[in-house]
Amino acid sequence: MRRGLMLIGKILQNLANNILFGKEAHMTPLNKFLEDQIVNVNRFLSEINVSSPIGIPSVSFDRFGVEISSICLRLR
């Protein structure tokens, strides 16, 4: 199981860094998959990297459903 998770981690890291496998010969068959998915990953990362306008706190919830941004405003 650990090996499988390590391989998934390597794939995700290469997708996020926009690089193909080269040094590890056993991973090079996945390069076609990486090429096909890099555009989708870049689009996803761009979408989640959008900041909210100034003065409008972003909405974020912790596991109890408490709005973290409102807590931060009260602590100021």
Give the tens place of pLDDT for each residue, 13-45.
999 899 999 999 999 999 999 999 888 888 888
Report the CATH fold assignment for 2-75.
Answer: GTPase Activation - p120GAP; domain 1 (1.10.506)
> 14 Cβ partners below 8 Å, 6+ apart?
20, 21, 34
Give the pLDDT score at 75: 52
Q: Provide the Cα torsion 37, 18, 31, 4; round to 10°.
A: -80
14 or 68: which leads in pLDDT: 14
pTM to 2 decimals? 0.58
